Structure 1
Amino acid sequence: MNAAWIVFLKEVRENLRDRRTVLNTLLTGPLMAPIIFVLLINGMIARELEKAEKPLPVPVIGAEHAPNLVDMLKQNGIVIEAPIAEPERAVREQDADLVLRIPASYPQAWNKGEPAQVELIFDASQRDAQGSVARLQGILDAYSQRTGTLRVLARGLSPSILKPLVVAARDQSTAQSRGSMMFSMLPYFFILGAFIGGMALAIDTTAGERERQSLEPLFANPVKRSKILLGKLGATSVFALTSLLLSIVAFSLAGQFMPTEKLGMSLSIGVHFASLTLLTMLPLVAMIAALQTLAAAFAKSFREAQTYLSLLMFVPAVPTMLMSIFPFKTETWMYAVPLVGQQITITR
């Protein structure tokens, strides 16, 4: 029997004996990420939909200066709250998402047919308030446009003069392409699953055997060290691939519980996606196993190897972060770059 095959079977059997490690590696890791992902996405979708449907409370300063505007806001689901003494401070300290201030000069400008200014006080850095600000801004813009149209009609003019330029927006995005923006972290989770799957065995077959003093007797056998290394790499790759496969299956099942269609998005994680992801990740799995084995082999102890491999797990996050911060046009050569090629293929 081939020596590499014997070493491969030995490492697989020894790793399977440690059932607790196997369960943590092949179940906890691959399953935890999809569960957390589903909970986060569902929570975000539910929150955004709830905020869009429920009445929006807005503190209004100077409501007595614009009764018609206040009535219009009430008709559009805005709950008028009592004025705040220090609106800027309240917004900065997140006591209020936004505040509408109507100055005393509003009725005079309005009656003259001049632009009447209102102040919308908010903090753009507060993501939680962005939806509320956009909602109120849209209502005010619609009211302004409608009033302007009525004023033009009262003067016997066509409302079209208010729009000398009409922009026809043609959005070419699809539900699936919009979904890929939200789920751009999926490749990282898959790569992380492969890292977790091979980590324990990569450490045990190198630094672990060195601590148990079983590595030297193995090298004393009349077998080429390349075959010993090949067997160890093969065993690490199998567990990394198994963990990856479980991650793909778990995310495929988790995708059925995410109501992405409510946001006009589509997440197609079916058999075709799973097969493509698995084929795309196969070369990377071998590279991950080799890097983990190499890093663990340089370690002088089991704990040191754990430190090295824990730091190595941050490497896959770099392409994901860079591609999120610095959008770029995909080039053909990028598909050949490890980590980057997988990120592009899976998300596109």
Structure 2
Amino acid sequence: MSFKNLFSLQMRALLLKELREVWRDRRALMITLGFTLLFPVLIISSGALSLKVMSDTSFDVAIIGAEYAPLLEEQLQTGDLRIERLQDGAPQALLADTYDVVLRIEQNFTEDYRSLLSPKIYLYVNSADQSAGRAAQLVQQQLALFQQVIVRQRLAARGLATQVLAPWQLEVRDVSTPSSRGLAIWGLMVPLLLIMALLVCSAAASIDTSAGERERMTIEVLLQQPISSWQLVVAKAVAVTSIGWFGALLSLAVLTLSLGLLPLAEIGVRFSAGINELMAISLILLPLALLVAVLQILLSLRSRSFKDAQIQLSILQALPVTLLIVLKLSNIELDSPLWQLTPLIGQQQWLSALMAGESVSVSLAIAGSLVTLSLVGLCILVGARALRRESLLGAT
């Protein structure tokens, strides 16, 4: 098989025809625009809502028997806790009403406290409520701090050093940087979004240009022209790649603009991707877009019908996402340079690093892209051979 006719007049005409058909497909364009515009906005909106909830949420705390321990009530008077004194009430009913947690202090608290006993304080919480769980954690933290103060005062009153109960002091120092924290966040979200954009945006076009043309009997007409089967596969793959790559770039643009609107500095995260990083991300996505397109075309060609092709490509869309999530959650070490030569995994590492402003090895990126392009070439040969089988061309 010779590739000397890659830029021949027939090849250019075929490529122009495939590109025109892909970009005239309204269904494919609507899917591309819908996914690339709505999905990033949905992610950013949910992130902004989470930040707002974390920063603005306050909790209602009911204290029954606060008159027996007024210092406890004073200690709990923080900006995030709204304290309300109650004379009596059933904790379960109060939790079902408007309170996040209920603190109950028994009548014998003062007497036991002065006798240096350990009076009990009951904290009622509904653990099925996520907000209530955060409120209970905050109440426990405030009470624990106050308890340490009282212990130090009692030791000092008896001439004992506070170090008796604290043989060492543990001080936690976070050595992470805004860039590394950004890497931890973008490491899964951004590659998943961009890879999903490649898969979703090119699916409709790949099905229509393969299984669709087979059912319309137009692919047989194309094979009767003076072109090779590999030329047909290349033209279709390039056309499908164009819309998939465009969808990924549009998703990247929307995501970049949306991230600039989030108050990332409040959580100590920095978004460091500049023009150079975004251009590098675009180039890294191109070989993967070609691989996705040719794989989708091969699956669509071997399917029995248009609907069968849709089912197979839906399964294909779930596989890369599932693989990346499993690798992320399983904490598998991917430090070896060989992982960067693996398609999909290598792109995931490069994309996450570039979005966080980290450097990427140019030699490994080129080598990994060449491996991906080699798989593209192999898939093109497989597709060209498949087109020569009459059994594959029969629409059912």
Q: TM-score if structure 1 supplies the norm length?
A: 0.88
Task: Report SS of the residue matched to 1:173.
Answer: coil
> Cα deviations across residues 116-150 of structure 1 (Å, max 9, x unaligned)?
43233335564333432332222111111111122
Judging changes above 3 Å, is the alpha-carbon distance between structure 1 residues 341 and 132 closer, same or farther for their aligned structure 2 residues? farther
Deviation at 1:338, TM superposition (A): 2.7
Q: Is the 8 A contact 2:73 2:83 kept in 1?
A: no
Q: Tell me: CA distance 1:320–1:115, structure 2 relative to 1, closer, same or farther (3 Å).
A: farther
Pairing 1:304-323 to 2, within 5 Å after superposition: 304-323=308-327
Match for residue 23 of structure 2? 16
- Give the gaps of 5 or more residues in structure 1: none
Q: Which moved further from structure 2: 294-303 or 77-86?
A: 77-86
* Pair 1:269–1:102, CA change in 2 (3 A): farther
- Deviation track 1:155-209 (CA, whole Å, cap 9, x = no partner) reads 2233333321111322121123223334432211101111122112101111111
Tell me if structure 2 keeps the 8 A contact 1:30–1:247. Answer: yes
Residue type at the aligned position of 2:33: L
Whole-Å Cα distance in 1 between the matches of residues 331 and 107 of structure 2? 46
**Aligned residue in 1 for 2:278:** 274
CA distance in 2: counterparts of 1:5 and 1:23, whole angstroms? 23
Match status 1:32 vs 2:35? no
3-state secondary structure, aligned to 1:166: coil
Query: Which residue is 2:83 aligned to?
Result: 79
The CA deviation string for residues 56-102 of structure 1, in whole angstroms up to 9 with x for no partner, is 31123443432321232236644125455243x876x7975333233
Partner of 2:364: none
What per-residue deviation string (whole Å, max 9, x for no partner) do you get for residues 215-239 of structure 1?
1111122321111111111111121
Q: 1:201 aligns with which of 195, 205, 211?
A: 205
SS of the equivalent of 2:252 reads helix
Amino acid at match of 2:351: I
Residues 15 and 346 of structure 1, relative CA distance in 2, 3 Å threshold: closer
Contact residue 194 and residue 288 of structure 1 kept, 8 A:
yes
Q: How far does residue 331 in structure 1 lie from its aligned partner after superposition?
A: 2.2
Farther-moved stretch of structure 1 (212-221 vs 2-11): 2-11
Between the aligned partners of 1:105 and 1:335, the Cα distance in structure 2 is: 66
**Alignment partner, residue 344 of structure 2:** 339
For the 8 Å contact 1:3–1:227, the answer to whether it is kept is: no
Which of 273, 277, 291 pairs up with 2:295?
291
Match of 2:375 in 1: none
Alpha-carbon distance in structure 1 between the residues aligned to 2:45 and 2:119: 45
Shift of 1:345: 2.8
Confirm whether residue 263 of structure 1 aligns to residue 270 of structure 2: no
Residues 142-291 of structure 1: pairs in structure 2 closer than 5 A: 142-183=145-186, 184-291=188-295
Cα distance in structure 1, aligned partners of 2:78 and 2:22: 67
SS state at 1:222 partner:
coil
AA in 2 matched with 1:14 = E
Give the 3-state SS of the residue equivalent to 2:238 in structure 1: helix
- Stretches of structure 2 that go unaligned for 5 or more consecutive residues are 1-7, 354-396
Shift of the 120–344 alpha-carbon distance from structure 1 to 2, 3 Å rule, reads farther
Task: Please say if 1:118 is aligned against 2:121.
Answer: yes
> How far apart, CA to CA, are the structure 2 residues paired with 1:73 and 1:157?
28
Aligned residues: 342
SS for the counterpart of 2:319 is coil
Which whole-Å CA distance do the structure 1 matches of 2:98 and 2:318 have between them?
37
Residue-by-residue CA offset, 1:289-318 (whole Å, 9 max, x unaligned): 122111111223322222222222111221
- In the alignment, which residue of structure 2 is the partner of 1:109? 112
Larger mean Cα displacement after TM superposition, 238-247 or 300-309: 300-309
SS in 2 for 1:58: strand
Name 2:378's counterpart in structure 1: none
Secondary structure of the corresponding residue to residue 123 of structure 2: strand
Aligned CA-pair RMSD: 2.5
1:60 is paired with a residue of what secondary structure?
strand
Provide the rounded CA distance (Å) in 2 between the counterparts of 1:61 and 1:4: 83
Q: 2:60 aligns with which of 57, 64, 74?
A: 57
Amino acid at match of 1:23: L
C-alpha change, 1:307 and 1:75, in structure 2 (3 Å) is closer
Deviations 1:235-269 (A, max 9, x none): 11121111111111111111111111112222234
Are the equivalent residues in 1 in contact too, given 2:69–2:109 (CA < 8 A)?
Answer: yes
Matching residue's letter, 1:253:
L
> Which sits farther off after the overlay, 5-14 or 76-85?
76-85
Partners of 1:68 and 1:173 lie apart in 2 by 38
TM-score (norm 2): 0.78
CA separation of 1:106 and 1:325: change in aligned 2, threshold 3 A: farther
